[in-house]
Every structure is written in structure tokens, then in C-alpha cells.
């Protein structure tokens, strides 16, 4: 899969307490988006001229700030990208947008459905009004809950993306319960990082207790025909079943991912946008292969991980997570290491229980999807 992410704007209508973005009022112009798509098409066609097995599957993501602030441009770029892929024999395209939800409406959801756009909703559940307020300082929970219900009617598999703020991580299990009651079937969890949050041992212990509860919920909600995907657990379980390196499976840093900033400059992943020393090309000049090689060479496995028995199941070489926690792509924070160990243990315990019960829906999902 070739991944192209277009940063539509740095602006946002939210003011989340952990957000590290600057929210400048800058937007990608359509011409920049079209050039990025043209370059991608050119790259696929050039490669397929000499290699018939070349990957022609494309995923285009629209990113922000809040991407739906540039909704009309997204609609036009999707139409353009649909045309672009028609000129690639055997090519496929899919789209992805993660939104805070406030600007979602019936019309956009229908547009997403027609164009096979996967919409993910960022929502912090019970902590939403404590950490995800709007630009006017107003609470957002009730409004976003309504958008979530609307979204679930068209996309029952909508993924909710939760960011865990250390000060409110005690709400995690209650949040999962309220999502489950609303009919949500997939939740992803990411601990907030960066200079605006602080994880102490005490807060990590609360996270641990909440994830223990989450494991029990996960087992309970995957009985019989029921399915509830807690994505961090499922990634670890599949990663074990397939014996695939967790980073290769999930981190697409630079090698097969291009992130295009509003000004047309390329970066290896969202965390590095605008950072000095991480630009990997532009829509004007294409990919800078020597910059990409240089970045890849700078990303090495953290020393403490080299002899670790679970290193293949751990995202210890994820450049973005490492840089976010430690300021260095190749260093792992104690928190991240503990978090990975915890999630792997809990995922294994849950999987053992569900496999011991010979839960057919779970087994099929893990082995076949």
C-alpha cells in the first residue's frame, strides 16, 4: 500500500489540552494537492513499466488540524484522485479521514460512503469535556456524541480514536462502557505525549488498572457473535499470530508513506511536519531519495531493545512515538517501554481466554482478517 497524506490545514476548531500543533490559519491549495496526486501517479506508472508486480494500491488520507475545515477542497481532491487512479491499470484507491467530528453532517457522511472514505472519529469519552474543548472554550461532548450516533448509522464499524491524558486516565474504562453502549465496535487508544503532559508512576499505575479493566471488557464484549475491537490489543494478537515485526506492520515512516504539508513539502510522518532536517522532498521537486535514505539511516533500534524477547511485538522503533516521548527517533522512553509490555501481556491474556473458549468469531477475525 502506498500512503499519501495531505495536510489540508494547520487550523482547528478545537483546543485540546495535549495538542502539539500550532493551529496557524494556513490551508493547502488545491493545486498543491493535485500535484502530489500527479506525482504519485507518475511514480506508479514509471515503476510498473519495469516491474509488473508493482504495488498499485493507494491510500490517500486527509489530515489537519481539523481536515473538515477544508471540506470542499477534500471533495474536489477526491474527485480528482478517483480520475487519477482510473489511468493506472489495475490501480485501487481508498481514503481515510480522522476528524474531531464537529463539522460532520449527513451530506458529508453520504459523500464519504459514496467514495469509500473511512471516517475515524477522535473522541476522549468521559474525558472529552475536560481535555477536548472547542476554540471558544466550550464543552464538546454532547455535540460530538450526536455526530458519533449519526456516523454509526452509516458506518457501524467507525473507529473511535481515544487519546489518553494522564490526568484523566481514570476515566478510560467508563469511556469504553459508554462507547459500547452507543454501539461503537472499534476503539483505538494512544497515550498523549509531548511537553504538555506529564506521566508519573502514579498516573501510569492508574492506566495499568484501567487497562486491566479494559481487558475484562474486551473478553466480555467478544462473546458469541459479538465483536468489539480494542485496536492496541488486536494489533499485538495479530502480530503474534503472523509472526510479523510490529513496526514493519504498523509504522510506515518515510519508506512507503508521504505526508504533504500545506505548502507542498514532504515529511515522513505527521509528527515531523515542519521540523528542520526532516523534509523529504516537495510537490515541485518530487521525493528527495538521499534525504529519505539519510532519515532511515538515522533511525536505529534503541540499544536496550536489542536483546529483548518481545522486541518483534513492540513498536520500539516507531520514529514518531520515540521522538514524541524522548526527542530522539532512536530512544525509547521508560513509559513507552512499560506501556508496550503491559499491552502485550494483556492482549495475550485476553487472546488465551477467547481462544480457550473457542470463540469462533474472535478466532476467525484474528486469523483471517
Interface positions with ligand SF4 (CB under 6 A): 12, 14-16, 19, 21, 64-66, 100, 122, 304-305, 308, 310-311, 314, 316, 332, 337, 340-341
Q: Which is nearer to ligand SF4, 18 or 228 (CB)?
A: 18
Q: How far is the CB of 49 from ligand SF4 (least distance, A)?
A: 40
Q: Which is nearer to ligand SF4, 254 or 317 (CB)?
A: 317
Q: How far is the CB of 170 from ligand SF4 (least distance, A)?
A: 21
Q: Which is nearer to ligand SF4, 304 or 355 (CB)?
A: 304
- Residue 183 phi/psi, 5-degree rounding, is 100, 10
Burial 191-222 (b: 16+ CB within 10 A, else e): bbbeeebebeeebbebbeebbeebbebbbebb
Q: How far is the CB of 18 from ligand SF4 (least distance, A)?
A: 7
Q: Which is nearer to ligand SF4, 238 or 313 (CB)?
A: 313
Q: Which is nearer to ligand SF4, 48 or 270 (CB)?
A: 270
How far, in whole angstroms, is CA 96 from its chain's centroid? 10
Q: How far is the CB of 261 from ligand SF4 (least distance, A)?
A: 14
Overall residue count recorded for the chain in this entry: 369
331, three cell numbers: 530512544
Residues 315/321, Cβ–Cβ less than 8 Å = yes
Q: Which is nearer to ligand SF4, 16 or 40 (CB)?
A: 16
Q: How far is the CB of 92 from ligand SF4 (least distance, A)?
A: 29
Q: How far is the CB of 53 from ligand SF4 (least distance, A)?
A: 33
Q: How far is the CB of 127 from ligand SF4 (least distance, A)?
A: 13
Which pairs with CB-CB distance under 8 Å and at least 24 residues apart come from 104-113? 104/68, 104/147, 104/150, 104/151, 105/150, 106/150, 108/68, 108/71, 109/150, 109/151, 109/154, 109/155, 110/154, 111/75, 111/78, 112/154, 112/155, 113/154, 113/155
The count of other CB atoms within 10 Å of the CB of residue 107 is 10
Q: Which is nearer to ligand SF4, 33 or 65 (CB)?
A: 65
Closest Cα partner for 130 from 21, 15, 235, 224?
Answer: 15
Q: Which is nearer to ligand SF4, 12 or 211 (CB)?
A: 12
Residues 32/283, Cβ–Cβ less than 8 Å = yes
Closest Cα partner for 107 from 77, 59, 71, 157?
Answer: 71
Q: How far is the CB of 131 from ligand SF4 (least distance, A)?
A: 9
HSE (side-chain half, CA atoms, 13 Å) at 299: 24
Amino acid at each position: 500500500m502506498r500512503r499519501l497524506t495531505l495536510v489540508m490545514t494547520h487550523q482547528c476548531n478545537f483546543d485540546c489540552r495535549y495538542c502539539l500543533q500550532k493551529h496557524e490559519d494556513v490551508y493547502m491549495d488545491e493545486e498543491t494537492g493535485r500535484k502530489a496526486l500527479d506525482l504519485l501517479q507518475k511514480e506508479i506508472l514509471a515503476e510498473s513499466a519495469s516491474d509488473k508486480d508493482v504495488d498499485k494500491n493507494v491510500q490517500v488520507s486527509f489530515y489537519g488540524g481539523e481536515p473538515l475545515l477544508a471540506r470542499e477542497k477534500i471533495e474536489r481532491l477526491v474527485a480528482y484522485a478517483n480520475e487519477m487512479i482510473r489511468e493506472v491499470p489495475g490501480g485501487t484507491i481508498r481514503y481515510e479521514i480522522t476528524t474531531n467530528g464537529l463539522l460532520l453532517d449527513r451530506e458529508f457522511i453520504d459523500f464519504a460512503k459514496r467514495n469509500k472514505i473511512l471516517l475515524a472519529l477522535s473522541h476522549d469519552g468521559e474525558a472529552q469535556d475536560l481535555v477536548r474543548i472547542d476554540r471558544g472554550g466550550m464543552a464538546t461532548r454532547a455535540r460530538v456524541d450526536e455526530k458519533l450516533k449519526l456516523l454509526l448509522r452509516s458506518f457501524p464499524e467507525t473507529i473511535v480514536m481515544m487519546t489518553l491524558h494522564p490526568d484523566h486516565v481514570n476515566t478510560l474504562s467508563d469511556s469504553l462502557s459508554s462507547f459500547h453502549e452507543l454501539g461503537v465496535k472499534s476503539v483505538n487508544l494512544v497515550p498523549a505525549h509531548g511537553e504538555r503532559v506529564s506521566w508519573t508512576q502514579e498516573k501510569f499505575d492508574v492506566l495499568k488498572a484501567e487497562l486491566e479493566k479494559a481487558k475484562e471488557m474486551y473478553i466480555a464484549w467478544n462473546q458469541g457473535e459479538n465483536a468489539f475491537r480494542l485496536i492496541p490489543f488486536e494489533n499485538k494478537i495479530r502480530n503474534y499470530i503472523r509472526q510479523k515485526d510490529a513496526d514493519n506492520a504498523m509504522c510506515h515512516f518515510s519508506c512507503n508513506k508521504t505526508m504533504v504539508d500545506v505548502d507542498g513539502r514532504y515529511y515522513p510522518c505527521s509528527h515531523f511536519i515542519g521540523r528542520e532536517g526532516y523534509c523529504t522532498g516537495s510537490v515541485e521537486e518530487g521525493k528527495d531519495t538521499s534525504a529519505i535514505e539519510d532519515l532511515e539511516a538515522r533511525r536505529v533500534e534503541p540499544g536496550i531493545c536489542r536483546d529483548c524477547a518481545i522486541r518483534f511485538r513492540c513498536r520500539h522503533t516507531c520514529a514518531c512515538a520515540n521522538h514524541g516521548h524522548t526527542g530522539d527517533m532512536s530512544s525509547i522512553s521508560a513509559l513507552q517501554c512499560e506501556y508496550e509490555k503491559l499491552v502485550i501481556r494483556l492482549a495475550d491474556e485476553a487472546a488465551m481466554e477467547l481462544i480457550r473458549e473457542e470463540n469462533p468469531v474472535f478466532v476467525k477475525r484474528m486469523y483471517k482478517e
